[in-house]
Amino acid sequence: MAERLLHVEQLTGETTASAEVEIIERKGKGHPDSLIDGACEAVSRSLCEHYQKEYNTILHHNVDKGLLVGGRSNPQFGGGDVVEPIYVIVAGRAVCFASQGGDVQPIPVGAIAISAIKDYLKSSLRYLDTEKHVIVDYKIKQGSGDLVSVFDRKGSAPLCNDTSVGVAFAPFTPTEQLVLESEQLLNSEKVKQQLPEVGEDIKVMGLRRGKEVSLTISAAMISTLVRDASHYVSVVDEAKNLIADLASKVTGLSVDVQLNSGDIKNYESKRGDYYITVTGTSAESGDDGNTGRGNRPCGLINPMRQYSMEAAAGKNPVNHTGKIFNVLAQDAADKIVKQVKGVEGVYVRILSRIGSPLDQPRIASAAVHLESGASLSSVNGEIMGIINEEFDHIQDITPRILSGSVKLF
């Protein structure tokens, strides 16, 4: 096996945690961008399941192009309805025909896609009726011959399906951790039991300036569960208190929480001044979604960090480096900061070349911030060892993705 091209360098200057300003965003599972990411990934996983069951292998596919077109709704305190349904379409390429016993048989790619999308939407939004509130569509065609052949070649490792970049970093700053956990808390089963009025479309924007953090949170409320404006305000206040309590545990910084700050508080208003929805997502009333426009594979949108623009959701989990290299980079970054003494923070950047073995990157580069007293020479060998080990076991990533245990958005 050829020697891998690995690279380690030291970063100088301030870290993200020490910068004067830090900005982070997290889009919750009910946000239109998250919904379409999830729909694409659900189609990929369902195709994998069908291919494995019928042909004992995962056939070529990439279904990482998706669009959610917002509908139109009429939410009211205590009720409301969806007037015009949400439209969801997933597009891409997949093996649509298979030869068995000399006969060419069609693979029900369309039925698989539609079923997967509906099941995912049902699991993500408690109050969405996939038969009434959504139109589900697909445009998935047979893959091009050259890419299918790259996918199907046999060897010690699959061949890269694309020339792309995977990027990850570790560790999270306290502000990043707070932004992530704030959304996860409001969308947790515990909070949904305590405050069922809180819908799934939650967005958290975090700003740290010096030692002061400001969280701006939007949370769609379920209109049928909210009696009136006073009830709405009480739910918002309870949700804010939950986040304030979380903040006191996650960070010692001063944290200000604003939830649904766009509301116009008019207790006589019946609709329009408060963030109420029938289904728990803004997608019902005109907000659109696009695959890859939401959270990065780390779960956050970090404009002040290095990251890849790849849409990981929907790409095949066997040899598409836009997916696999992002997962591997995060695994390596997490291990480096946990295991290598003297490393304060790390970025891992991995570049592929189409047609090359999956375990032979064009380059795998780690850039580290070191603690005082540590030297690059003292950490270089351990870091390269961790990256090498991750590539030695790169094919273990596929079953983790199929099981849903890997975070992709």
Looking at the domain assignment, is residue 235 inside a domain?
A: yes
Alpha helices for 103-223 (secondary structure H): 109-124, 145-152, 174-186, 189-194
- Per-residue model confidence (pLDDT) at position 100: 73
Residues 129, 121: Cα–Cα separation, whole Å:
9
Number of H-type helices and E-type strands within the chain: 9, 17
Phi first, then psi: give them for residue 15, nearest 5 degrees: -90, 170
Looking at the domain assignment, is residue 253 inside a domain?
A: yes
- Per-residue model confidence (pLDDT) at position 266: 58
Burial of 131 (0-12, 13-18, 19+ CB in 10 A): exposed
Looking at the domain assignment, is residue 159 inside a domain?
A: no
- What's the token pair of residue 209? 């300036």
Q: Which residue has the higher pLDDT, 344 or 150?
A: 344
Cα 132 → chain centroid: 27
Looking at the domain assignment, is residue 236 inside a domain?
A: yes
In degrees, to the nearest 5, what angle opens at C-alpha 339 toward C-alphas 338 and 341?
Answer: 100
The whole domain housing 203 covers 21-26+173-290
Looking at the domain assignment, is residue 349 inside a domain?
A: no
3-state secondary structure of 128: coil
Number of domains within the chain: 1
Q: Quote the pTM value.
A: 0.94
List the one residue out of 30, 27, 220 whose CA is nearest residue 123.
Answer: 30
- Per-residue model confidence (pLDDT) at position 313: 97
2 confidence band (pLDDT: 50, 70, 90):
confident
Is-contact 222 125, C-beta < 8 A?
A: no
Instruction: Report the mean per-residue pLDDT for the chain.
Output: 94
Residues 6 or more apart whose CB falls under 8 angstroms from that of 25 comprise 179, 203, 204, 205, 206, 300, 301, 303
- What percentage of residues in the chain have a pLDDT greater than 90? 90
Looking at the domain assignment, is residue 225 inside a domain?
A: yes
Identity of the amino acid at 318? V
- Per-residue model confidence (pLDDT) at position 151: 59
Is-contact 293 310, C-beta < 8 A?
A: no
3-state secondary structure of 208: strand
Residues 6 or more apart whose CB falls under 8 angstroms from that of 135 comprise 85, 86, 87, 88
* CATH number, position 273: 3.30.300.340
Question: Does the N-terminal peptide bond of residue 75 adopt cis geometry, omega within 30 degrees of 0?
Answer: no
- Residues 143-182 pLDDT 10s: 766 555 555 555 568 999 999 999 999 999 999 999 999 9
Looking at the domain assignment, is residue 365 inside a domain?
A: no
User: Buried (b) or exposed (e) across 67-76, using 16+ Cβ within 10 A?
Assistant: bbbbbebebb
What stretch of H or E contains 207? strand 198-209
- What percentage of residues in the chain have a pLDDT greater than 70? 95
- What's the token pair of residue 225? 């569960």
41 confidence band (pLDDT: 50, 70, 90):
very high
Looking at the domain assignment, is residue 219 inside a domain?
A: yes
- Residues 92-126 pLDDT 10s: 999 999 887 778 889 999 999 999 999 999 999 99
